[in-house]
Every structure is written in structure tokens, then in C-alpha cells.
Amino acid sequence: MKSILLNKKAISENLALMTFSREGCEKILPGQFLSIRQTAGEKILRRPFSIFGFDDKSVSVLIKAIGRGTESITDMNEGESADILCPLGKGFEEKIDYDRTLFVAGGIGIAGINSFIAKGKKAKMIFGDREGEFSAAADYFSIDCLYVSEKGKNPNRGRVTEFIDGFEFDAIIACGPKAMLRAVKEKANGRRYLAVCEEIMACGVGLCNGCAVKYDDNTFKKVCIDGPVLDGNRIIYD
Ligand SMILES: Cc1cc2nc3c(=O)[nH]c(=O)nc-3n(C[C@H](O)[C@H](O)[C@H](O)COP(=O)(O)OP(=O)(O)OC[C@H]3O[C@@H](n4cnc5c(N)ncnc54)[C@H](O)[C@@H]3O)c2cc1C
Ligand code: FES
């Protein structure tokens, strides 16, 4: 579906909030994603992004430019169009008990967590990065969280998992790099754990197996159609 880039906001050097017109994008649920193919210039395959935010007329994504696909999208100018498939993946339909749920976001994983936090709700959240590269994002979005960094000026020094024991919770919802998701599983220690997975994808619609992750009973889940929200306690993180 052809969507127009309505607004582009550079949050930091390689991080941009891109807001597109919401064309034919039906009901959106937390955890869902969309895929974008820019339609001007060199043709590059679609790339998947978590739905960061939305309203009746628009849908936004927070993009960290790391390669050809993400750069081709963050280089777009307002008014240009892109081909967007939205929404994709299974949404999370359960009511969230914000008092008993801990959200954990690692780096750009904040994009996968944001849609779970309903407007006006106070959530328990740890948001971490390596050396403060997401501090501008934490400030810009006024994210109410414990913001931690492995290195740099941030006084809350360490990995997100080092801070989990300071919270009381019955469930964790986490999004971030695979190594972080693996480490969070140990901290969940048998409590409910939902991992929002951002596996490398090809087709994005269940046809290619490119995004399959293995569960502990040797079955496979396709992140694009069974996820991206999967049972973090059952994933084999190899
Ligand atoms: C469901 C889902 C949701 C996502 N949500 C977001 C989001 O909200 N914001 C965002 O910025 N990115 C998100 N991503 C990741 C984003 O799609 C990738 O960054 C993008 O596909 C990389 O494209 P590229 O052409 O810029 O990089 P490429 O040139 O293809 O790759 C650059 C480098 O990044 C690595 N890489 C590529 N894709 C991934 C990935 N998914 N995870 C880790 N490393 C990767 C490659 O191996 C390579 O080393 C999401 C991915 C998925 C599957
Ligand atoms: S990306 Fe093709 S099956 Fe998921």
C-alpha cells in the first residue's frame, strides 16, 4: 500500500522517527510490525520495523540506520512515498497488568516495546544501551524508565539484566539483541517471559522459513507470522 512520509524527525545521528500516512492499515495491536520498501531511487527489498506508534491517520517507526535498507528509508524526504505492508505479525491481545509486568528494552528494542505501553499508563521499564547512544531517544520520548548503559557518562552503569532483580514482577516483556533475550530468560527464572523477536527476515509473510526460531521441543516458530511476540522461556537462543 502506498503511504506518504508525513514527518521525519532525526533523534540522533543514525536514529530517526518516521511517520507515514496510515493507508489501509487495519486494527493495530501491541507487538505488531510493518514492512517498508521505499519506492524512489535504487530498489531495495522490504525491511521490517516494529510499529512504534500510531493514530487514526498515521503510523510511525523508529529506525536505526545500520545498512542499505534502513539508510534508503531514513534518507527519504517528507512527501515521498513508500510501499508499506501493515500490520504484520500476531498482535498481543491480552490485558497487561502494568503493576506486575517488567518491560526490558535493549537499544533499538525500545521500538518493539513502546506499543505495549498504553498512553497514560505507568510501566516498570529498564531501557539499556552500550554507551549512551540512546540517551537522546530516552529524553525525546520522555520514556519513564530506568535508563542504563554499559559504558559512558550514564551513572546507571551495567547491562539491563543486572538491574532486573531490583524490580518485583510476575512477567517480563523484552525486546533487544538475541544475547540480551537469552540473558533475560535466566532472570525470568520460570516467571512468564515474552520475547519480542527481531530475527533477520526475508519474505515477512510466512513463505520462506527465513525467520524461524527453535523451541525447546524441536518445533519451529516463524517470527513473521507466529510472532514477533514469542514465549521467551521456550526459545533456543543459539
Ligand atoms: C520484526 C522486526 C522488527 C524490527 N523492528 C525494527 C525497528 O523498529 N527499528 C529498527 O531500526 N530496526 C528494526 N528491525 C531490524 C531492521 O529490520 C533491520 O535493521 C534491517 O532489516 C536491516 O536492514 P539494512 O538493509 O539496513 O541492513 P543490512 O545491510 O541488511 O545489514 C546490516 C547489518 O545488520 C545486520 N542485520 C540485519 N538485519 C538485522 C536484524 N533484524 N537484527 C540484527 N542484525 C541485523 C546484518 O547482518 C548486517 O550485519 C526489526 C526487525 C524485525 C524482524
Ligand atoms: S520471513 Fe519468510 S517465513 Fe518469516
State residue 25's pLDDT score: 84
Q: In this structure, which ligand is nearest to the CA of 199?
A: 1
Q: Indicate the residue type of 65.
A: A
**Domain presence at residue 159:** yes
Ligand 2 pocket residue status of 208, Cβ below 6 Å: yes
By CB neighbour count within 10 A (0-12 exposed, 13-18 middle, 19+ buried), where does 135 fall? Answer: middle
Whether 39 and 11 map to the same domain: the answer is yes
SS (H, E, C) 123-157: CEEEEEECCCCCHHHHHHCCCCCEEEECCCCCCCE
Examine the domain organization and report whether 188 and 122 are in the same domain.
Answer: yes
Quote the pLDDT of residue 41. Answer: 67
Pocket test for ligand 2, best of 90, 208, 226, 230 (most atoms within 8 A of CB): 208
Query: Which of 85, 224, 226, 230 has most ligand 2 atoms within 8 Å of its beta carbon, as the pocket-test mutant?
Result: 224
pLDDT digits (tens, 9 = 90+) for 71-92: 999 999 999 999 999 999 999 9
18 and 55 in one domain? yes
* DSSP annotation string for 149-198: ESSSS-SSBS-GGGGGGGS--SEEEEES-HHHHHHHHHHHTTSEEEEE--
- If one counts the domains in the chain, the total is 2
pLDDT at 171 over 80: yes
Calpha distance 132→152 (Å, rounded) = 6
Residue nearest to atom 10 of ligand 1 (CA): 63
Residues 14-71: tens digit of each pLDDT: 999 999 999 888 889 999 999 998 877 667 778 999 999 999 999 999 999 999 889 9
Ligand 2 atom closest to the Cα of residue 201 is 1
pLDDT of residue 43: 73
- As a whole-number percent, the residues of the chain with pLDDT over 70 amount to 99
Specify which of 10-14, 113-117, 183-187 reaches the highest per-range mean pLDDT: 183-187
Mean pLDDT confidence for 198-223: 91
The per-residue pLDDT for 3 is 93
Of the candidates 129, 184, 186, 180, the residue with the CA atom closest to the CA atom of residue 157: 129
Instruction: Tell me the C-alpha to C-alpha distance, in Å, between residue 134 and each of 5, 52, 110, 217.
Output: 23, 15, 9, 37
**pLDDT at residue 79, rounded to an integer:** 95
Q: Residue 180: pLDDT above 90?
A: yes
Residue 236 lies in a domain: no
Write the single-letter amino acid at 171.
A
Q: Which residue has the higher pLDDT, 143 or 65?
A: 65
Ligand nearest to the CA of 200: 1
- % residues pLDDT > 90 (the chain): 75
Question: Do 56 and 34 have their domain in common?
Answer: yes
Q: With beta carbons less than 8 A apart as the criterion, state whether 104 and 172 touch.
A: yes
Q: Residues 131-144: what's their mean pLDDT? A: 85
Residues 223, 109 share a domain = yes
- Are 37 and 132 in a shared domain? no
Q: What is the pLDDT of residue 40?
A: 74
- Domain of 136, CATH number, reads 3.40.50.80
Classify residue 238: in a domain, yes or no: no
115 touches ligand 1 (CB under 6 Å):
no
Same domain flag for 212 and 121: yes
CB of 196 closer than 8 Å to CB of 126: no
> Which one, of 47, 64, 58, lies nearest residue 177 by Cα?
64
Q: Which of 33, 198, 203 to mutate to test the pocket of ligand 2 (most atoms within 8 A of CB)?
A: 203
| Residue whose C-alpha is closest to residue 225's, from 48, 89, 112, 47 | 89
Q: How far is the CA of 212 from the centre of ligand 2 (A)?
A: 7
Domain finish residue from 59, 88, 117: 88
The CATH code of the domain that includes 83 is 2.40.30.10
| 105 in the same domain as 73 | no
**CA–centroid distance, residue 49 to ligand 2 (Å):** 14
Q: From 88, 112, 142, give the residue that closes a domain.
A: 88
User: Do 118 and 46 share a structural domain?
Assistant: no
- 10, with CB counted inside 10 A (0-12, 13-18, 19+), is exposed
Length of the chain: 238
62: CA distance to ligand 1 center in Å?
12
Ligand in closest contact with the CA of 14: 1
Terminal-to-terminal C-alpha distance of the chain = 36
Please report whether residue 74 resides in a domain.
yes
Cα(121) to centroid of ligand 1, in Å? 29
* Host domain of residue 15: 2-88
Model confidence at 202: pLDDT above 90: no
Given 88, 115, 133, which residue is the final one in a domain? 88
